[in-house]
Structure 1
């Protein structure tokens, strides 16, 4: 499956307008992120930029890539400005070039405020705008927990010194905010990510894939359909998920199951090899990256989050919104914010043995799966787009209002 969109895929239906007040000032906003070719942070940035444009803000999305790979829809009301300065294995771009191009894009845009997403991009924005006149207020959104995801010694040193110079820093969860406060003299604002609601046809898709067996069909029970979604990278814990499922098979106390994995990354080949070695290859489907997760969620029973650490797991929240039972390890960040153990999900300690026990429990208890699935969609009420958009809009407006005037030259 191609990872690039055709031009028509950029269109995003205008969200319901919900302006904070009729007198809210319209801002010219620069949204900065590395690319739209990726997962949760990129999805949130595309949705946030599009929805801010629907509130009649003038929004420019600046990305470091060349703009050829777009995995998330973007409103035509947002002007997309790819800088083509992203370093890759085949094309190295110097730090000086990246900073110069980014500084030019921000300084020439006449922006009221800059909103930057993700750690490395945040550092580039802070370095690129140093001593820039006129000064533009900068808001940084930290999308992961620095306690678990290191940028390396030099860039960690820079983060501790650059973030306090921003006008506001946003963290995804209380955990992220506490990590930042413990390292630097700032007071982060906690704004959780929004969950996407299922599309209009989702209920019909789910009903069709969960219909009861007719009298003429086999009475043998159907396999329990598991699904995991995420980058195939070590931090996502997919190898320990496969290992846990293999243990259940080897001990003979696991129900019949099938696992679908959505996502791509550097571990694809090693995970496939691991599944073969443990004798569970025939029960696992590696789907690669998918444009939409909803058809796959509709035909699944249980979503599993085996990550070693998380910022705010969008895929898990979408699974809950879609009415799946969820089994998650306590990977920090937004996981424990979203899941109330035993009510709307099943939360286990962040280790292999608790994951095995959790799988054993949820696979063997259909009544538990039904109860968790029925309560899971309430996350849409707690983590809606309107609440997130209001919170970001308030931050952007407040930092722009309180920015002191530049001294005369």
Structure 2
């Protein structure tokens, strides 16, 4: 290649890396959850960097629990989600795809960014392959979170149409590579907290905290059993689980059957969470599988000693066992043993909490946004025909 041609290419690359992008971001809703928190934070920060960002959700936006920057264009599609019967569900999916296609046509973005498995499939199926490139992001462990036989097959096919698939960990990326031509690994981020845990007061409270949707995959049913067993000799310990979901009544009934209903608190959705979470003696993540758990990152950033099941995706990447957190076998027995260990060994527990605060340097927002921004620029540069005229 001639020197003048090489210089021209370098100038074009520099122009692409300095120009603002028009980015259409899709997610099912902003109704709580770790993926929604990250999407809200990512879109806000991309907009603050001068990009033209739209955030499109399938709901009507009335139940938003995460705040976005005023410079982000909020586009709620207000689509129905209560279809029953095969024909009604088919019509619902078709209406969703029409709404997605119309939004992309109206917004004319340089690139589309989608979060979460089923949303990713809807966006890929609704958009024109000759249109703007689509980047899709898995926010859990796709090897463990089945969409059912039909949608699993659709995912294997449709992910081949994405410009890039983003995984949270290398474990998840390995699962996705056989059916995607381009897979990137970008972990989640955690905010630097506005406060740190007062460990003298938190230790005296004898409170174990959990955070997450009250759904089967989050494993709170087995946390209740482990807690009941580990604290049977000291009923002054309490368990508080922040979050909402379909399993609330089942967990209350289970707590009664275990004789710990007077020691369980379910405050529901609480935001901001930093202050109440900082009061915990110990944080526990009992999930059956995870992506890159925001709650674990948040607890560690506050200086709350944190215990987690040893999921291949997420916790194993976040926690350095025995130094800044405690990993246990993914079972009731593992959780019980971990709780017993950290209740008994105060010195070890508090050392974990102090070391855990370094997580904000390892998984900071600037690093994550930098990587997304560069990825979006790269896929646009590879598809120059999609740029705005």
Match for residue 208 of structure 2? 226
SS of 1:94's partner is helix
Tell me if the contact between 1:147 and 1:179 (Cα under 8 Å) persists in the aligned partners.
Answer: yes
SS of 2:56's partner is strand
**Of the candidates 179, 183, 186, which is equivalent to residue 181 of structure 2?**
186
State the shift of 1:178 in Å: 1.1
State the shift of 1:86 in Å: 4.2
Closer/same/farther in 2, CA of residues 21 and 382 from structure 1, 3 Å limit: farther
State the shift of 1:211 in Å: 4.5
Match for residue 102 of structure 1? 100
Superimposed CA distance per residue, residues 376-396 of structure 1 (whole angstroms, 9 cap, x where no aligned partner): 011100100000000000000
Closer/same/farther in 2, CA of residues 89 and 293 from structure 1, 3 Å limit: farther
Superimposed CA distance per residue, residues 336-383 of structure 1 (whole angstroms, 9 cap, x where no aligned partner): 111000000011111221211111101111101110011001110010
Is 1:304 matched up with 2:284? Answer: yes
1: CA distance, partners of 2:95 / 2:204: 57
Is 1:263 matched up with 2:259? Answer: no
State the shift of 1:255 in Å: 7.8
**Of the candidates 49, 52, 60, which is equivalent to residue 43 of structure 2?**
49
Query: How many aligned residue pairs are there?
Result: 369
TM-score, with normalisation over the residues of structure 1?
0.86
Tell me if the contact between 2:208 and 2:283 (Cα under 8 Å) persists in the aligned partners.
Answer: yes
2: CA distance, partners of 1:249 / 1:370: 19
Is 1:165 matched up with 2:165? Answer: no
SS of 2:18's partner is coil
Is 1:196 matched up with 2:191? Answer: yes
State the shift of 1:334 in Å: 1.5
Is 1:320 matched up with 2:328? Answer: no
1: CA distance, partners of 2:274 / 2:323: 23
2: CA distance, partners of 1:384 / 1:246: 36
SS of 1:108's partner is helix
Match for residue 145 of structure 2? 149
**Of the candidates 338, 353, 377, which is equivalent to residue 358 of structure 1?**
338
Large movers: runs of 4+ above 4 Å: 20-23, 89-93
TM-score, with normalisation over the residues of structure 2?
0.90
State the shift of 1:38 in Å: 2.3
SS of 1:405's partner is helix
State the shift of 1:404 in Å: 5.3
Tell me if the contact between 1:224 and 1:255 (Cα under 8 Å) persists in the aligned partners.
Answer: no
Tell me if the contact between 2:17 and 2:377 (Cα under 8 Å) persists in the aligned partners.
Answer: no
Match for residue 376 of structure 2? 396
SS of 1:239's partner is helix
2: CA distance, partners of 1:316 / 1:77: 30
- In structure 1, the gaps of 5 or more residues are 1-19, 213-220
2: CA distance, partners of 1:85 / 1:118: 17
2: CA distance, partners of 1:62 / 1:120: 15
Tell me if the contact between 2:163 and 2:182 (Cα under 8 Å) persists in the aligned partners.
Answer: no
Tell me if the contact between 1:137 and 1:166 (Cα under 8 Å) persists in the aligned partners.
Answer: yes
State the shift of 1:300 in Å: 1.1
Match for residue 116 of structure 1? 114
**Of the candidates 43, 66, 74, which is equivalent to residue 72 of structure 1?**
66
Superimposed CA distance per residue, residues 153-193 of structure 1 (whole angstroms, 9 cap, x where no aligned partner): 11111100110111111001111101112x41434100000
**Of the candidates 333, 338, 353, which is equivalent to residue 313 of structure 2?**
333
Match for residue 343 of structure 1? 323
2: CA distance, partners of 1:269 / 1:138: 40
Match for residue 4 of structure 1? none
Tell me if the contact between 2:59 and 2:78 (Cα under 8 Å) persists in the aligned partners.
Answer: yes
Q: Which has the higher helix share?
A: 2
- In structure 2, the gaps of 5 or more residues are 1-13
State the shift of 1:130 in Å: 3.1
Closer/same/farther in 2, CA of residues 53 and 241 from structure 1, 3 Å limit: same
